[in-house]
Structure 1
Amino acid sequence: MHETAFLIGQIFNGFSVASLFIMAALGLALSFGLMRVINMAHGEMLMLGGYLAYLTLLVVPGPLGILVAMPVAFIGAALLGAVLELTVIHRLSARPLDTLLATWGVSLILQQAARNLFGAIGVQVVAPSWLNHTISFSTGILSGLTLPDTRLFILAVAALILGGVALLINKTRLGLYVRAVNQDRPIAAALGVNARLIDLCVFALGTGVAGLAGVILALLGPVTPTVGQSYIVPAFLVVILGGLGSLVGTTIASIMVGLFTALIEIYVDVSVAQVLLLAFVILFIQIRPQGVIAVRSRALEG
């Protein structure tokens, strides 16, 4: 393989990983930016999405099953997120440490429930036939480069999700209310905005997006009770690096982390790459504590 083709392949892999981080981190960015809630059970929403995809494909086999699984996973994870917000998050929202510990407990409960229902080994979600292809280059400087359709599909889904959330936040009345509550909750409430309902909607939206991310992850490997834990730490790093509550910052940070990971793995193994990534994030935060994009919000003050 030509060196240029290898480098382009690694950059493509970096953007592919970044797309996964975007979907995993969007919900965290929304909920923390608005509610200052650290949801340690967010990774289990990815896990839930993967298992719902598996169950959906049992009912709807065939090439269109994965397309049916995506809205099913979104709705299922959003509903579970709404229940979690109503029963745990709302009651403990004024005590961040208690919220963190409570959601960690929920995380452990959900993992054990998945083990009891599906086993510890995991289940396989088979990609449809129309994703079992690759785009290959056999001549020129790109000779040897292959781009799997599955990875291209992941990039497309991430772009659609990001665009949809951006349109929702910036172009709809719900988005206007979200921005109002995010900027100044007491004033927004005084003007008639139901801040409590906005919190619920945003939290459910974030967990729903995580459920969608779980469907995408299921195309890349088996769904296990702990599959979400592999992405929750990088997702938190992305949220911190991007600037708390900033969708643009989260997107830029996801690309930075994805490219950094893919390119550094050219020279070192995966374990060392993770250590270097953490060192990179720490160094970046030391230089720019507010993250890539600084968000001005009363919700983040104090």
Structure 2
Amino acid sequence: MEALLSQLPIGLSIAAVLLLAALGLTFTFGQMGVINMAHGEFIMVGAYTAYVLQDWAGRQAVVVALPAAFLTAGAMGLVLERTAIRRFYGRPLDTLLLTWGVGLVLQQLARDIFGAPNVQVRAPGWLSGGIPMFGSQVPYTRLFILAVAALSVLAIWAYQNRTRQGRRMRAVMQNRQLAECSGVDSERVDRLTFFIGSGLAGIAGVALTLIGPVGPNLGTYYIVDAFLVVVAGGLGRLRGAVAAALLLGLINSYAEFWTDASLAKVIVFVATVAFLQARPQGMFVLRSRALT
């Protein structure tokens, strides 16, 4: 029992990483139907933002980089949406190919600027060490990632439910045609949604610098898991993303405890596919009066 409980904090920390990586996709994929394969590269942009800020902020670069990475990745996502993606709305396979090519370009650009070898971002001194929990030592860095994930979810919930723009986002997500008939500028909502989704990917990249080194391929390690979280939770559903990230993180933690890291990934993937066979619309489905 003690061994099983010791995996619980690890599973929660994995869930926090998955949730941060998937939060942006929850809205860009769920609302706009855009299969953004460059989302992983926006995660990489956030991580490199923290690396660049080290020269100025030192060991506090991770904290300073959180808002900076949000703005940087969000601005890049907005440029991508305005210049290319908006021409492919309603054509998800085309957006997949387009953003996959953009992701490759961004990876090569990162190699040209920062080099191919991985680089390290130093964590603040106050994140050194850990706290005993269930017979294991939980690093403060993992707890910090949990806190960032929780604050991000809270901020998104408040934005959607307490602001005018957030309610417009929900309206477009639920019924785009009816929202447009009600006077909502859906194009403006799409731009803002893509900016927020890409910015959240930047925050995820900053959090990932606390786990390991930063490299041009950083985003490719998490993009598939992020899509699994979005699809399993239900397209565009915030609570679905939280629940799916929590469940997949715990499955990954316990599967890795009994097997190894590679086989644990396979188990998570198989479990997700089996779940979607039984419930293809995900954990939480948007209720509608539509006949189709």
Could you say which TM-score interval applies, normalised by the shorter chain?
Answer: over 0.9
| 3-state SS of paired residue (2:211) | coil
Give 1:80's match in structure 2, choosing from 73, 76, 95. 76
Q: How does 1:9-158 map to 2 (within 5 A)?
A: 9-62=6-59, 64-136=60-132, 142-143=134-135, 145-158=136-149
Identity over the aligned pairs, expressed in percent?
Answer: 47
- Are the equivalent residues in 1 in contact too, given 2:40–2:223 (CA < 8 A)? yes
Alpha-carbon offset, residue 146 of structure 1: 0.8
Q: Are residues 1:245 and 2:236 paired?
A: yes
- Are the equivalent residues in 2 in contact too, given 1:57–1:69 (CA < 8 A)? no
Note the alpha carbon deviations across 1:151-170, whole angstroms, 9 max, x for none.
11110110000110111011
**Which residue identity is paired with 1:182?**
M
Q: How does 1:185-200 map to 2 (within 5 A)?
A: 185-200=176-191
**Which residue identity is paired with 2:44?**
M
Alpha-carbon offset, residue 38 of structure 1: 0.4
| 3-state SS of paired residue (1:151) | helix
- Are the equivalent residues in 2 in contact too, given 1:182–1:297 (CA < 8 A)? no
Once residues 183 and 132 of structure 2 are traced to their aligned partners in structure 1, the CA distance between those partners, rounded to angstroms, is 57
- Are the equivalent residues in 2 in contact too, given 1:184–1:297 (CA < 8 A)? no
- Are the equivalent residues in 1 in contact too, given 2:51–2:61 (CA < 8 A)? no
Q: Are residues 1:257 and 2:255 paired?
A: no
Note the alpha carbon deviations across 1:170-197, whole angstroms, 9 max, x for none.
1110111011111221221122111000
- Are the equivalent residues in 1 in contact too, given 2:34–2:95 (CA < 8 A)? yes
- Are the equivalent residues in 1 in contact too, given 2:120–2:212 (CA < 8 A)? yes
Give 1:161's match in structure 2, choosing from 116, 141, 152. 152
| 3-state SS of paired residue (1:22) | helix
Unmatched runs of 5 consecutive residues or more in structure 2: none
Unmatched runs of 5 consecutive residues or more in structure 1: none
Once residues 146 and 271 of structure 1 are traced to their aligned partners in structure 2, the CA distance between those partners, rounded to angstroms, is 23
Once residues 104 and 61 of structure 2 are traced to their aligned partners in structure 1, the CA distance between those partners, rounded to angstroms, is 30
- Are the equivalent residues in 2 in contact too, given 1:31–1:203 (CA < 8 A)? yes
Give 1:235's match in structure 2, choosing from 220, 226, 235. 226
TM-score by length of 2: 0.96
Q: 1:18 to 1:284 in 2, by over 3 A?
A: same
**Which residue identity is paired with 2:113?**
L
Q: 1:48 to 1:301 in 2, by over 3 A?
A: farther
1:214 match: 205
Once residues 241 and 186 of structure 1 are traced to their aligned partners in structure 2, the CA distance between those partners, rounded to angstroms, is 26
Alpha-carbon offset, residue 9 of structure 1: 2.4
Q: 1:278 to 1:301 in 2, by over 3 A?
A: farther
Alpha-carbon offset, residue 266 of structure 1: 1.5
Once residues 160 and 288 of structure 2 are traced to their aligned partners in structure 1, the CA distance between those partners, rounded to angstroms, is 15
Alpha-carbon offset, residue 244 of structure 1: 1.0
| 3-state SS of paired residue (2:138) | strand
2:261 match: 270
Once residues 88 and 224 of structure 2 are traced to their aligned partners in structure 1, the CA distance between those partners, rounded to angstroms, is 22
Alpha-carbon offset, residue 301 of structure 1: 9.8
Equivalent pairs counted in the alignment come to: 292
**Which residue identity is paired with 1:80?**
M
Alpha-carbon offset, residue 288 of structure 1: 1.1
**Which residue identity is paired with 2:212?**
G
Once residues 171 and 19 of structure 2 are traced to their aligned partners in structure 1, the CA distance between those partners, rounded to angstroms, is 24
Once residues 207 and 86 of structure 1 are traced to their aligned partners in structure 2, the CA distance between those partners, rounded to angstroms, is 13
**Which residue identity is paired with 1:94?**
G
Note the alpha carbon deviations across 1:49-108, whole angstroms, 9 max, x for none.
00000011111214x332211111010000001001101110111321111100000000
Note the alpha carbon deviations across 1:272-294, whole angstroms, 9 max, x for none.
11111111011111111111101
TM-score by length of 1: 0.93
**Which residue identity is paired with 1:127?**
A
